[in-house]
Structures are given as structure tokens and as C-alpha cells.
């Protein structure tokens, strides 16, 4: 079995790896690191949670260990789709480069330009950035990319989903043609294939899993759910989510709940807190400081449940997430793979459950086609529902109600009571001024009869 010591890495990098507790590289690391150290372009295709980040950080640190950065001219560039993923990559560099004198800067939204400009002005060996913030600095004249020796594109398929491909192509055009490119993606959509054919030169292709497959150690299931009424569907769906969490008991040590819309993230988190669950939301509209505080709480275990939009689907690396709940079926089937990939990491077992309403069944079919297997149907823990109204026998009618209804019917038929206890409103319409003999017929109905009328 290959060990990190066999991969020709810098001894100081090997020391940091050993201190982090790792000995054996994952398949993507075993394939990508030697090719990267040879100076070749690398195309890595692997599902999330397989160690892609270390497969480019480790050779980059080794290659950059010699040399010195110049002001405003980073020696290497790592592009990430989200702030969270960029921060995670920065943490990896801190872990593995602690014995090597390398400087780095993190360019993400939510942090002042002034602080980032100061770092760039001093010169950085490693620049980690989201595409938008990187181009902001470039257009302000604060950054030159002509000194980039190594360029990394991480989670390229997510870049495609988020509309960053034009930015990526522009950034490629600003870097030297002689750069080394390390390109990583979980799937290979046609647009991604086009970019790799355009910007990579005879890359070493390392593919360690079928495209868009879920890890085998993740137990999956889906509950087919239909609300009793359209206006009650959302609240009943949240009730089902709580029941699914409760049914897992102590096995659910922590969980990420994914929603398709940011508004639903807030609503679900608020609902869970109302019922006593330790939950907090995270999505793109929150302040960076609030997002960082929430993620730190989830990582250190002080927060049990994270309710998230897809902004966190790629950028969150917590090895011990026990459960993922898809409150909504994702609109893009690839997102399902990345969502459930937040559990079952680093060889651990995980569990992923999803709630599917009738109008999402088409999206469910697309997911099953992508992962090349049927997701097992699981029974709802809310099976003890009350019988439907039309199946309920009417309650026996009381004699008083029967007499009142009969009397009312006779009065209508004979025309009795016209003019008594009535007056005209300003539009000349009759209005009842006292109950008396003119009790409205719906009051005389039994409870069951009124319920039947309202359901209909």
C-alpha cells in the first residue's frame, strides 16, 4: 500500500501530514500528487469527500517551497466557488505548510478590501479566491496575475451551476500560458469538458469513481409525501422532518438539512428552534461574520443542526456529520450527490434522507438516473394520520337540531316569518336583527355535517 512517504513530497510537508495523523493517501491523492509534482496538468474527477483538497495543496506547497513572491504578483492561484470552500482550502494550507515559509491571502466577499489589499501588496505565494472578488481586485488595479505559476480550479462543476464559467475563462486568459493547471470536478458536464480541452495541456486524468456517484457507505432513503391540503403542505412537511429526526434518536448526533430556497432555510430553522431543536440557518444572504460563527459552532459541536442552502453543499468539511436531510428534492441532480456527500466522509458511515412531494417526482427520477440506482422508499413516521373526512361517518343528529332544521325548512316553504324581526339595510336588503325564529340553518347542522361541507 502506498504511503505519503512514497510520493516524493517535501520532508517538511511530510512532517505536517504525520502531525495531522495521516499516513495513507486516498486514491485521488495517490493519482494526482505524483503527476502534479512532475509539473503536468491534472484533471481530477472524484466525488466529494475523497480528499481532493489535499491532492493539490500538498504538491503546491512542495513546488512553491523554493522561491519568493513579489508585491501584487501571487505565485499560485486557487479558485473556489464559495466563501466556505475557499476558507476550507486556506485551512488546509495552514495545516500542511506550517513548517514551510509560505505566505497566503484569502480573497472572499464579506471582508474589507483594505485588509486584503495590504496582504497582496506584501506579496503572497498562494492566493485563494472566489472568482468575483478576484476580478474586483484585478479591475481596481491591485492585482497582477502574470506571475502565476500554478492555477487550481476546485469544484468546477459547482462553478458551472453558479454561472462562474465566463469569469473562469477570463481569469485563465489573464494568467501565463506556461502555467501549470490543476482542475478538479465531481462531474464532467459538456461545458466542463470544453473548458478542460481549451485550457489544459495533455493533462493526467485521474478518475476514482463513476461520474456523479454517491459514496457506498451512505445509507439513502426517500419518503414520498403528500399534504392533506395545499395550504397545509409546508407545515405538515416540517412536521414530517421533525419526525424523521426524532426517529433517528441518538444515532443523529448532528445533521445538515438542505432546502432549495433561502426563505425556506430561514423558515425551517425558525420552526425547529420553536419546537426545541438546536438549529441555525446558513445561506448567501447572511453576513460573513454570522456565517462564520454558525459554521464554527457546527464544527465544534456546540450547534447540532445546520439548515443550509446549496452555498454550504460544497464548502463545508466536517468529517463527522451523521445525517443529511433533504427537506426539498434538489432541482439539479448533481446537487443531490454533493449534498449527501457532507455525510459518510473519511470512510465513516452516514445516512441521507429526503422528502419528496408529488411535483418533485420528476426531479427524483433524474437523480436516480444520475446515480444509476433507485433510492429506497422509506415509510413515513407519521403513518398514524386521522382518517379522511369523507370516510368519517356523520355523527348522529340530535333531536333538537333535527327539529330546528325541520322548522326552518317549513318556514321557508310556507313563507312564514317574512317581515318579522327583520329590517332593511341601506341598500334595501333584508338583514336579521335577532335570532328568534330565524336561526341560520348552518348552526342547526351537526358538527360532522358542517365539516363535510367545508371539506367539499
> What is the chain's alpha carbon radius of gyration, rounded to the nearest angstrom?
31
Residue 265 lies in a domain: yes
CATH of the domain at 55: 3.40.50.300
122 and 149 together in one domain: yes
126 and 84 together in one domain: yes
296 and 366 together in one domain: yes
185 and 38 together in one domain: yes
243 and 358 together in one domain: yes
Residue 418 lies in a domain: yes
61 and 198 together in one domain: yes
Residue 8 lies in a domain: yes
Residue where one domain finishes, among candidates 157, 174, 207: 207
Judge residue 126's burial from the number of C-beta atoms within 10 Å of its C-beta, 0-12 exposed, 13-18 middle, 19 or more buried: buried
Residue 227 lies in a domain: yes
125 and 9 together in one domain: yes
Pairing state of beta strands 430-432 and 422-424? Answer: antiparallel
19 and 158 together in one domain: yes
Residue 69 lies in a domain: yes
Task: Please give the residue range of the domain that contains residue 432.
Answer: 389-455
111 and 74 together in one domain: yes
Per-residue confidence in pLDDT tens, the chain, 456 aa: 689 999 999 999 999 999 988 889 989 999 999 999 999 999 999 876 678 899 999 999 999 998 888 888 999 999 999 888 898 899 999 999 999 999 999 998 877 888 888 889 888 999 999 999 999 999 999 899 999 999 999 989 888 878 899 999 999 999 999 999 999 988 788 889 999 999 999 999 998 865 456 667 889 999 999 999 989 999 999 999 999 999 999 999 999 999 999 899 999 999 999 999 999 998 877 887 888 889 889 988 999 999 998 765 555 667 789 999 999 999 888 788 888 888 887 667 899 999 999 999 999 999 999 888 899 999 999 875 444 444 344 444 444 444 444 544 444 444 444 444 444 554 455 544 444 445 545 555 555 555 554 444
Residue 39: name the closest of 152, 150, 175 by CA.
150
Domain count, the chain: 3
247 and 179 together in one domain: no
The answer to whether the beta carbons of residues 305 and 277 sit under 8 Å apart is yes
The answer to whether the beta carbons of residues 183 and 77 sit under 8 Å apart is no
20 and 166 together in one domain: yes
238 and 349 together in one domain: yes
pTM of the predicted model as reported, rounded to 2 decimal places: 0.63
Residues 62 and 52: their CA atoms lie apart, in Å, by 16
Amino acid at each position: 500500500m502506498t504511503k505519503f512517504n512514497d510520493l516524493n513530497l517535501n520532508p517538511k510537508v511530510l512532517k505536517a501530514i504525520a502531525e495531522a495523523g495521516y499516513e495513507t493517501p486516498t486514491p485521488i491523492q495517490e493519482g494526482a500528487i505524483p503527476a502534479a509534482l512532475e509539473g503536468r496538468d491534472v484533471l481530477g474527477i472524484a466525488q466529494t469527500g475523497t480528499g481532493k483538497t489535499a491532492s493539490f495543496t500538498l504538491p503546491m506547497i512542495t513546488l512553491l517551497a523554493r522561491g519568493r513572491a513579489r508585491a501584487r504578483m501571487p505565485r499560485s492561484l486557487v479558485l473556489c466557488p464559495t466563501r466556505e470552500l475557499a476558507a476550507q482550502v486556506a485551512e488546509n494550507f495552514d495545516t500542511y505548510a506550517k513548517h514551510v515559509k509560505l505566505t497566503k491571502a484569502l480573497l472572499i466577499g464579506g471582508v474589507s478590501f483594505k485588509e486584503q489589499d495590504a496582504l497582496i501588496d506584501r506579496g503572497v505565494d498562494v492566493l485563494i479566491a472566489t472568482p468575483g472578488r478576484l476580478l474586483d481586485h484585478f479591475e481596481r488595479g491591485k492585482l497582477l496575475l502574470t506571475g502565476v505559476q500554478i492555477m487550481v480550479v476546485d469544484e468546477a462543476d459547482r462553478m458551472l451551476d453558479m454561472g462562474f464559467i465566463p469569469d473562469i475563462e477570463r481569469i485563465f486568459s489573464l494568467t501565463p500560458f506556461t502555467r501549470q493547471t490543476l482542475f478538479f470536478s465531481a462531474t464532467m458536464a459538456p461545458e466542463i469538458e470544453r473548458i478542460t480541452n481549451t485550457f489544459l495541456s495533455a493533462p493526467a486524468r485521474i478518475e476514482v469513481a463513476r461520474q456523479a456517484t454517491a459514496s457506498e457507505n451512505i445509507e439513502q432513503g426517500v419518503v414520498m409525501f403528500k399534504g392533506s391540503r395545499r395550504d397545509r403542505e409546508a407545515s405538515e412537511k416540517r412536521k414530517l422532518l421533525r419526525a424523521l429526526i426524532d426517529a433517528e434518536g441518538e444515532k443523529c448526533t448532528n445533521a445538515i438539512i438542505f432546502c432549495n430556497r433561502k426563505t425556506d432555510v430561514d423558515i425551517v430553522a425558525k420552526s425547529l428552534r420553536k419546537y426545541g431543536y438546536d438549529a441555525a440557518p446558513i445561506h448567501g444572504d447572511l453576513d460573513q461574520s454570522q456565517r462564520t460563527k454558525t459554521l464554527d459552532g457546527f464544527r465544534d459541536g456546540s450547534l447540532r443542526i445546520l439548515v443550509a442552502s446549496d452555498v454550504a453543499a460544497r464548502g463545508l468539511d466536517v468529517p463527522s456529520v451523521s445525517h443529511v436531510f433533504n427537506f426539498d428534492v434538489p432541482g439539479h441532480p448533481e446537487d443531490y450527490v454533493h449534498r449527501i456527500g457532507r455525510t459518510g466522509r473519511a470512510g465513516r458511515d452516514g445516512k441521507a434522507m429526503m422528502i419528496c412531494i408529488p411535483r418533485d417526482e420528476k426531479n427524483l427520477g433524474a437523480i436516480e438516473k444520475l446515480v444509476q440506482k433507485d433510492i429506497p422508499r422509506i415509510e413515513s413516521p407519521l403513518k398514524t394520520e386521522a382518517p379522511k373526512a369523507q370516510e368519517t361517518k356523520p355523527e348522529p343528529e340530535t333531536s333538537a337540531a333535527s327539529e330546528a332544521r325541520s322548522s326552518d325548512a317549513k318556514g321557508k316553504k310556507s313563507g312564514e316569518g317574512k317581515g318579522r324581526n327583520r329590517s332593511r339595510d341601506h341598500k334595501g336588503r333584508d338583514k336579521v336583527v335577532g335570532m328568534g325564529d330565524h336561526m341560520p340553518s348552518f348552526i342547526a347542522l351537526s358538527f360532522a355535517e358542517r365539516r363535510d361541507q367545508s371539506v367539499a
